[in-house]
A and B are shown apart, each in its own frame.
Chain A
Amino acid sequence: DTAVSQTPKYLVTQMGNDKSIKCEQNLGHDTMYWYKQDSKKFLKIMFSYNNKELIINETVPNRFSPKSPDKAHLNLHINSLELGDSAVYFCASSLVSGTDTGELFFGEGSRLTVL
């Protein structure tokens, strides 16, 4: 299926642990994103990569480190997890042509629970 897929879908872990979430898109898009959705449903951009290059880096603790090995993959590694990191993390991709903004295609989300 053509889609944005992310794993794992659910992640329950203890405070202080390190965890990773992986994302892959086979839509041929050149830009990928990580969004965080908290318990109040606020959707906030964290990072964006365009052709493996970091383009957007919002005010996110440096415990969060994205990595894009190629333009179809964008992973998120989180060190020293804290209770406040509990959220749903959405990967997304878009095709941005020139200055024309493209539709965001979201993955199914990864629900992270930090105990």
Chain B
Amino acid sequence: GENVEQHPSTLSVQEGDSAVIKCTYSDSASNYFPWYKQELGKRPQLIIDIRSNVGEKKDQRIAVTLNKTAKHFSLHITETQPEDSAVYFCAASLSNQINTGTASKLTFGTGTRLQVTL
């Protein structure tokens, strides 16, 4: 099955600096790579995603890059703010047609706790 590794496990940056989180995946057939943000005590929420036919995607201060050959993808947050402090999860998935149904089996990375200090 798919295995997703994520680094670093913790990251502390000063407000205004950039933060980079990296993930690798094992199944070359995976085709969808979302990033989820989980604030303390809250639910994970999607912040950005990228599909395997695209190498880079940007949304304001957040960008994600994908290298299919190397099987790794990264999250970049620029001009970090205190409200960016959270646990970030990368994930990889391949939609499976199983029997009569289709499901998205997201395999999550182990999470990165980002702390943005003033």
A residues engaging B (CB < 8 A)? 31, 33, 40-45, 48, 50-51, 53, 55-56, 90, 94, 96, 98-104, 106-109
Contacts and interface: CB of A to CB of B under 8 A. Distances in A.
Contacts of A106: 43-45
Contacts, number: 79
Sorting the interface of chain B by its residue count into under 10, 10 to 19, 20 to 34 or 35 or more gives: 20 to 34
By secondary structure, the B interface counts as strand
A69 B97 CA distance: 22
Contact of B103 (A31, A98, A107): A31
B89 A43 contact: yes
Interface of B: 31-32, 34, 36, 38, 42-46, 49, 87, 89, 93, 95-108, 110-111, 113
A104 B104 contact: yes
B12 to A, nearest CB: 17
